Structure 1
């Protein structure tokens, strides 16, 4: 097993206040693999973009594939543009760090993002821990609101952070679409996983993580807030003359959701030893004790060759895996044929 301690994600590490960790993870691979929801399936049901440790594979056995040197893996579905003629094109990403290759910006927070004090005590995840957030079958607002804070921001410029919506923006976004995925922050303290990859985690009894509400008795251990930020460069597809003839917004997730309500994400913990806990317990800015950093060029070198041999780029006549475009909440599906 190749050690990825020095050659995977990190970390142009930028921290704010006391151990609010924010770092850019460059893209490891884009393919149809999902060891959390579809373990062992080659290919998995839909295309994902993955960042993190290069031990990523179709099974991710925590006893075999997560050595102490490794780091976490983070992944989301991929966004596609659907043109008026029914063809699809993968939407590229932009990075919040100059020179970084696509990927995800990841936060670990003790308190709300805007609370620079970050004084709360939180517990780091344990080896073998994994979790999932969202519902790939959600097609209505009612179905997605139970997950709290899976959102989209139509960016006017690179600094735009609001307003946030639960569905895809319905207008062209000058600087792209930012997708936010905030994971639950209360752990049952026992299980590293659960059959649905969610039951071992819960939200605070009241409000969201930012509200500071207490964890429920069933899930008493307060963990860090894990937040993914992904910026999709939709600016290349802002000509409404190329949008579907019925005027509907043109973006669709790789599994066919055209509403945006099925926003979801996966997380597999893999920090070295107690490095994450030490960082979360330490007041630090930029350089945190126990955190090793690397420059952008080194970060970009960490890539993995796809094991699924299929065309996911170019102009496609259908989404990889043959998924139909689905609208909601009414049960309506359209399978385009160019």
Structure 2
């Protein structure tokens, strides 16, 4: 179903006014152990990330206007030179070796190479949202999380197991259906892959572009959720667009019972480790997303104010994926992250 038609139906069914929703693909630009947000200048950082967006990505990204540092992007909109990244998923085979899981490009779009789909959503009640400012950055999730905790409070991070029939048809309803969405990694084989949804805080203190923990300068709503127009807390009064990542992990190539643990337990693990101890199954609770803003000028604000929908917007410059996929950064960490590995890059727990 076409995105505009599907979204309108979904919103009307929920009694919510339609909002601007930029929804676009970004190809992978690099997969390696760098994290300029949490571990700036560290080469390598503790665990592997899969990164999309502008070519300013490096072990250290100066806290300045990233749109002036990068000169190309792997994203649909050429004015978006931001960087978006998540922990990468690995498959742990019965023999104890690990293999990186790739990403399936979103099937609503065409031409991506791995990567993810990025959303920026305006307020459902029509109220003003303020676009991020040059130098802004933030984090969603916590790599050390091993219990549900805040993962579920705002429907911030969840997983969905796709089968071959329903894949891609319900992408606009993240974390909304407890019959198919879970805060833990699915414990069964998923023919269509596993979707990760990561939703970022939507309220800002209006002053700080970052904070030591990359979280304190932003907040989720004081009550309710962004979707039901929950108010921002007084400490963080500025309403932001809702940034959301959607990654679909291509788990199908590993759906071989002879490779799975003999007891049939969940074999997928994120690159930071994500289990309570070496003997416990991976939970998925530690999945997280990082964001460094890099849109040019007022492009993002203009697109949201104009109510743009999907991957086309007459306020923005669109590029083909043939052009986007030419954008690249040199790999800085010299290690194998693709073959069958005896441990996760960075150590058996990736921390």
Q: TM-score, with normalisation over the residues of structure 2?
A: 0.83
- For residues 98 and 129 of structure 1, the distance between their equivalents in structure 2, rounded to whole angstroms, comes to 30
Partner of 2:297: 273
Partner of 2:329: 304
What whole-Å deviation, never above 9, does each CA across 1:258-278 have from its counterpart, x for those lacking one? Answer: 110111100000000011001
Cα deviation for residue 304 of structure 1 reads: 1.9
Indicate if the aligned counterparts of 1:131 and 1:193 stay in contact, CA closer than 8 A: yes
What whole-Å deviation, never above 9, does each CA across 1:95-150 have from its counterpart, x for those lacking one? Answer: 012331001100000135xxxxx733210000000000111111112353356420
Cα deviation for residue 92 of structure 1 reads: 1.1
2:180 counterpart of 1:169: no
Q: Which runs of 5+ in 2 are unaligned?
A: 8-17, 72-80, 172-176, 275-281
Query: What are the within-5 Å matches in structure 2 for residues 1-338 of structure 1?
Result: 19-63=20-64, 66-67=67-68, 71-96=81-106, 97-111=109-123, 119-142=126-149, 144-146=151-153, 148-156=155-163, 157-158=166-167, 159-161=169-171, 162=177, 163-257=180-274, 258-285=282-309, 287-324=312-349
Indicate if the aligned counterparts of 1:69 and 1:272 stay in contact, CA closer than 8 A: no
Query: Could you say if the C-alpha distance between residues 314 and 203 of structure 1 is closer, same or farther in structure 2, counting changes exceeding 3 Å?
Result: same
- For residues 162 and 248 of structure 2, the distance between their equivalents in structure 1, rounded to whole angstroms, comes to 9
Give the number of aligned pairs. Answer: 308
- For residues 242 and 56 of structure 1, the distance between their equivalents in structure 2, rounded to whole angstroms, comes to 35
Query: Could you say if the C-alpha distance between residues 146 and 40 of structure 1 is closer, same or farther in structure 2, counting changes exceeding 3 Å?
Result: farther
Cα deviation for residue 305 of structure 1 reads: 2.4
Secondary structure at the residue paired with 2:68?
coil
Secondary structure at the residue paired with 2:118?
strand
Indicate if the aligned counterparts of 1:68 and 1:273 stay in contact, CA closer than 8 A: no
- For residues 35 and 325 of structure 1, the distance between their equivalents in structure 2, rounded to whole angstroms, comes to 17
Query: Could you say if the C-alpha distance between residues 64 and 295 of structure 1 is closer, same or farther in structure 2, counting changes exceeding 3 Å?
Result: closer
Please, what is the CA RMSD of the aligned residues?
A: 2.1
What whole-Å deviation, never above 9, does each CA across 1:230-282 have from its counterpart, x for those lacking one? Answer: 00000111122211123210000011111101111000000000110011101
Query: Could you say if the C-alpha distance between residues 298 and 134 of structure 1 is closer, same or farther in structure 2, counting changes exceeding 3 Å?
Result: same
Query: Could you say if the C-alpha distance between residues 37 and 147 of structure 1 is closer, same or farther in structure 2, counting changes exceeding 3 Å?
Result: farther
- For residues 168 and 284 of structure 1, the distance between their equivalents in structure 2, rounded to whole angstroms, comes to 33
What whole-Å deviation, never above 9, does each CA across 1:277-309 have from its counterpart, x for those lacking one? Answer: 011101345542431111121111112221100
Once the two structures are overlaid, the 10-residue window that deviates more, 31-40 or 134-143, is 134-143
Once the two structures are overlaid, the 10-residue window that deviates more, 299-308 or 164-173, is 299-308
- For residues 64 and 150 of structure 2, the distance between their equivalents in structure 1, rounded to whole angstroms, comes to 35
Cα deviation for residue 183 of structure 1 reads: 0.2
Indicate if the aligned counterparts of 1:27 and 1:50 stay in contact, CA closer than 8 A: yes
